[in-house]
Structure 1
Amino acid sequence: MLMNPLEYLYLIGYKLHKSYGLTRRKRLEGRTISVGNLTLGGTGKTPLTIEIAREAIKRGFTISILTRGYKSKSDESIIVSKGHGPLVDWEDSGDEPFLMALKTPGAWIVKDPNRYRGGLISGLKDLFVLDDGFQHWPLHRDIDVVLIDSSDPFGGGRLLPFGRLREPLQALSRASVIVITKAHERLESLEKKIRQYNQKAPIFYGEYRIDGFRAFTGIKSSGEITTKRAFIFSGIGNPAHFEALLSEYGVQVVGSERFRDHHQYTERDLDRIVRLAKKANAEVLITTEKDLVRLRGFEEPEIPLYAVSIRLDIKDKSFFELLFKGLVPKEKQHPGTGG
């Protein structure tokens, strides 16, 4: 396939950025795992980062999640959480770091475009996890986990801006571990394509599952949402998959509205959503947890609003054994020192 001139310019910029980053590469004192992808958009990086953090904490490891905080108001270093919930407003941290702070008690979360600096701010940890770190060249990683969306694995096979590829497919050769998402069964043809670029990385499968609903107030709902007519809305990277997941779960979807990824809502947006929901005779509104973060500070709408909690379930649990192999919590290495 011939490369468009704009793709070629993007490729030149990518190579310069990569070369510059690699010359400045530094290493943190702790196992460093990157969770990333090759394409633009939602492949499940944040959900997988959350799952890795939860499993690490369960095993007694100290952990810091390092994130750039996309769309946050500040470019400065910000400690989003020290393991006990958010310390700053979501507009300062970005919606995804704020959500991670809510969902990963026990984990430090530091927002900093310079992940090495963010790691130093975190202090000594057993484990550092980079959310969306595959293209973050200045920081050494011990393990690169790359997610591939089975519904659009290679972004149309074209680099930005004509396709959704952030790097050429040859970059898959850097992956230590590959996770295929949104697949209900093994996809041998996709695995064969992956093996053209990486013959060694173990391939795992991750499936999204609904883990319950939370009301606008954040309280977990005990009611049966699926019995009610629902109007759904979202501002995420892959709204079609979110909508399909709700339908598969049995939610009676009577209408939907989509916004751009990381959309910052206004009162006018919420009024429009309620108006469309009423027109569709909806009994409830449903959105994502990430969208609910961006609705903090708003008055509760007159139609009950719920956020769906979604987890990325890795079917083969040896995935975590691979990530944590040989890693011993520092407290066990030095008993009695306190962490």
Structure 2
Amino acid sequence: MKQPHFWYLPFQNTLRDKLLSPFSRLYSTATARRLAKTQGYRMQMPVICVGNINVGGTGKTPTAIALIQHLQEMGRKPVLLSRGYGGTLEGPALIDPLKHSAQEAGDEPLLLAAFAPCIVSKDRAAGAKLAETMDADVLILDDGFQNPAVAKDLSIVVVDATLGFGNGRVLPAGPLREPLHVGLMRADLVLSIGSDNAQAQFGETWGHALSVPRLTGALEVLQMGMDFDGLKCLAFAGIGHPEKFYATLRSQGAELVKTISLADHQPLSDALMKRLEIEADALGAQLVTTEKDAVRLPNTFRQKVLTLPVRLKINEQDKLNQALKSVGID
């Protein structure tokens, strides 16, 4: 689904907003009831939840990767638990990147499994119990902030610094899954991701609304010997906000002769990829996509499409370590 433009405009209480408000109240009520009716399974290891209050892409996957690598540097053994959005696996199942496809596991778990053991389970509690049988001492719960099935020790709300919390309204009147003040009551940290300018604007707009400590971070291109400077590219992406990917490519000097924004998690069929290949050839351009999209590529196209790997750098490492220490992770 393409997110409506008005979600990111100042709330104006127009007729449209008035008509949508009752549905927003219903959505908020449904979320509150779901959170209240289940007492989460309490694990034998600390649980870090990486989630959001917004719908769509906010940077949860880069945040999970950054946490994995940080915990591993601390000598910890993290394991990930995901519901496997877009995949067919019910689970609980330990993902093997050599055996499972994105169609089975979902693209995000397949990408995350390259960094640490990753479990997919529609039943989060069952997945948590499987994690307890493994050689792991920290569980990272991917996109489980509104799911009460597993008790959380540390909850990190990830938000795009440029988009913020939009107009501050709940679906369908805005981009939020629940009222901001309600979600922040369960959060321990807010991580805003974006440039210095975006961080400053986020602070001016939303700083007064944050009742929990804030971390800032930015995505940095992982230099792997590929020079994009002057390269003509046909860039395509099926992520929440593909414009961020295009901007990052341009920052590396790439010439984007065409961009194609697909639906979030859209399957990359042979027919679709062949069409993109023909179009790129006609433009004299190189096909380029994101790491998350790349795991959905058909095997015949894996050598034909370049990826732009990025990693999240969290600025306030001391504040993060303090939060980790508060739940027994040091």
Determine the structure 1 residue equivalent to 2:296: 294
Give, in whole Å, the separation in 1 of the partners of 2:77 and 2:220: 27
Picking from 269, 292, 295, the partner of 1:266 is 269
With over 3 angstroms needed to count, the CA separation of the structure-2 counterparts of 1:149 and 1:299, relative to structure 1, is closer
Determine the structure 1 residue equivalent to 2:81: 66
Determine the structure 2 residue equivalent to 1:6: 23
Alignment of 1:302-321 (within 5 A): 304-321=304-321
Unmatched 5+ stretches in structure 2: 1-12
Alignment of 1:129-278 (within 5 A): 129-170=140-181, 171-185=183-197, 187=199, 190-191=202-203, 194-199=206-211, 201-212=212-223, 222-278=225-281
Normalising to structure 2: TM-score of the pair?
Answer: 0.86
Q: CA deviation at 1:62?
A: 1.6
Q: CA deviation at 1:323?
A: 4.0
Determine the structure 2 residue equivalent to 1:75: 90
Tell whether the 8 Å contact from 1:183 to 1:205 is kept in structure 2 after alignment.
no
Give, in whole Å, the separation in 2 of the partners of 1:328 and 1:208: 25
Give, in whole Å, the separation in 2 of the partners of 1:253 and 1:189: 28
Deviates more, 1:144-153 or 1:317-326: 317-326
Give, in whole Å, the separation in 2 of the partners of 1:319 and 1:230: 39
With over 3 angstroms needed to count, the CA separation of the structure-2 counterparts of 1:253 and 1:319, relative to structure 1, is farther
- Alignment RMSD: 2.2
With over 3 angstroms needed to count, the CA separation of the structure-2 counterparts of 1:255 and 1:14, relative to structure 1, is same
Tell whether the 8 Å contact from 1:173 to 1:197 is kept in structure 2 after alignment.
no
Give, in whole Å, the separation in 1 of the partners of 2:207 and 2:237: 35
Name the SS of the counterpart of 1:19 in structure 2: helix
Tell whether the 8 Å contact from 1:36 to 1:45 is kept in structure 2 after alignment.
yes
Q: CA deviation at 1:195?
A: 4.9
Unmatched 5+ stretches in structure 1: 214-221, 330-339
Query: 1:218-253: CA deviations, max 9, x gaps?
Result: xxxx34232321111111111011101111121121
Name the SS of the counterpart of 2:309 in structure 1: strand
Deviates more, 1:87-96 or 1:307-316: 87-96
Equivalent position amino acid for 1:292 in 2: A
Give, in whole Å, the separation in 2 of the partners of 1:293 and 1:203: 32
Normalising to structure 1: TM-score of the pair?
Answer: 0.84
Tell whether the 8 Å contact from 1:86 to 1:98 is kept in structure 2 after alignment.
no
Give, in whole Å, the separation in 1 of the partners of 2:162 and 2:73: 32
Query: 1:145-170: CA deviations, max 9, x gaps?
Result: 11121221113322112321111111
With over 3 angstroms needed to count, the CA separation of the structure-2 counterparts of 1:319 and 1:226, relative to structure 1, is farther
Give, in whole Å, the separation in 2 of the partners of 1:319 and 1:280: 48
Q: Percent same amino acid at aligned positions?
A: 28
